Structure 1
Amino acid sequence: MLVVTTEGLAGKRITEVKGTCCGVVVRARGLGGDIMASLKGLVGGEVKQYTSMLEDARKEAIDRMVENAASMGANAIVMMRFDSGEVGQNMSEIIAYGTAVTTEDDK
């Protein structure tokens, strides 16, 4: 499935808008990650455990969004975006969302 952040697809024509599609992931940080983050907060630098966790969560959110669009009969997603937030004290939410569409090759 094609997933783009633009309004359209080069060489394609949107034939039908299926609607909003999304994929949500909530991940909890472990105690070890919180301890490492606290230490990094004192000395500065990247908290690689969190970076890795958020990268994995983004990939999973995209996969879920693609599954949602496919279940709607779409073959592409346009205007894809990410959003994130905190849930509770130690959880992060990542959402991928966009517009599910069907497309054809331009003639």
Structure 2
Amino acid sequence: MIGSPDEDRLTPALWGTAAILTLGGFLSMFTSTVVTVALGTIAAGFRAPLGTAQWIVTGYLLALAAMVPVSGWASRSADRVPCPARRRGKSPSVTTRWIGVAWCSP
């Protein structure tokens, strides 16, 4: 029967996918905000004018944008390799990103 309650439920796999995508989007916004907020401190640390230090943020955001297609390719390539973490619903790339963010935090 179309529209039955069982068909309208979201599957756990869909919830996991939504959680990973939301977390990835949050991390992108969070890290770019951290770099932008720290711009004054970065400029003072390098004794550079603010206009020069803004290139740091530009370079960071360009590198972040360049990684979008690369991560899509890596994700498709990784599907061919068995990964136990993926079966448990944990994305190795998101975990690695969290470790990197925590490592770079003061």
Query: What TM-score results when the alignment is normalised by the length of structure 2?
Result: 0.34
Structure (1 or 2) with the greater strand fraction: 1
Q: What's the TM-score, normalizing by structure 1?
A: 0.34
